[in-house]
Amino acid sequence: MTTTNNTKYLLSIVGPTAIGKTSLSIKLANYFNTEIISADSRQFFKEMQIGTAAPTPSELAAAPHHFIHHKSIEETYNVGAFEKDALKKLNTLFKTHDVVIMVGGSGLYVDAVTKGLDHFPDVDKSIREKLNAQLENEGLEVLQNILKVLDEETYNTIALKNPQRVIRALEICIGTQKPYSSFLNKNKNNRPFTTITIGLTAEREIIYNRINKRVDIMMQEGLLDEVQKLLPYKNLNALNTVGYKEIFNYFSKEWTLDFAISEIKKNSRRFAKRQLTWFKRNENTLWFDYLTDLETILKKINHEINKE
């Protein structure tokens, strides 16, 4: 399908884990005869297949995919690099397609493509080292109180219980002598495409049941063997993620296997809750129940395209 105007459209499919985003993305890609960009930061790594619920070989064959298993866990790859790579790929794809699909549950990576990242000045690395030492010696509350003095706006909006977030904000405040909040939402580039965001959701109990079932399927498909092969690399940042860190605890004999599996389910449910909180912030998202038929979703998408 080609659009009736010259605008290029990115259909961004979001929602909690295990809700059915992959399936919908393939149906939409086939309808629009286009390609799919993944914005799932866990599916970038080729060594992590089962535990990330990456698209199956048959799903990958059903539509062209990009940014699936294109990196090794031993490579450094962050959201800034992904933003540049994804925009470059989109620029290429939009030369031959009016519509491109993006799918993924990593909210920051989705926002990096659709909105752009906040950019901060480089600061002296010794500042973070001092703050980490202060955290260890004096505790998080002391750092929280310093942040309140230096940047009350960030203090009131940041996840204060997350020491990494607090330290990141403080090092910018100290290193630049300006509030961390003063750098937010500045100098973001306008995108040469229009984003239409489709959200899939369901009642919480349904989402949680789907997650529990998915974890059981992962175990049947060989998640234990996959994680065991990655034991030598367990300290890498890519593997500090749900589905891997719990089973590392089993292999280190800290947990039983049953407890590790129950923790994967619990942490996946918590992750889904955080995903919904993140994606609900976008007031322009078109939300659909996960069982909504394709025709209804397409009708809404085409309405959005044609009203431009």
Per the annotation, binding residues for substrate are 17-22
* Token representation of residue 105: 């549950």
Can you tell me the distance from the alpha carbon of 117 to that of 167, in angstroms, rounded to the nearest whole number?
A: 19
Which strand (E) or helix (H) includes residue 199?
A: strand 194-201
| DSSP per position, 2-37 | --SSS--EEEEEE-STTSSHHHHHHHHHHHHT--EE
* Sign, Cα dihedral of 203, 204, 206, 210: positive
| DSSP per position, 122-150 | ---HHHHHHHHHHHHHH-HHHHHHHHHHH
Annotated binding site: 15-22
Question: Are 207 and 19 a contacting pair, CB within 8 Å?
Answer: yes
Helix, strand or coil, per DSSP, at residue 102? strand
Q: 273-278 — which CB contacts under 8 Å span 24+ positions? A: 273/16, 275/14, 275/15, 275/16, 275/17, 275/105, 275/107, 276/15, 276/16, 276/201, 278/107
Annotated binding site for ATP: 15-22
Which strand (E) or helix (H) includes residue 175?
A: helix 163-176
Can you tell me the distance from the alpha carbon of 101 to that of 213, in angstroms, rounded to the nearest whole number?
A: 27
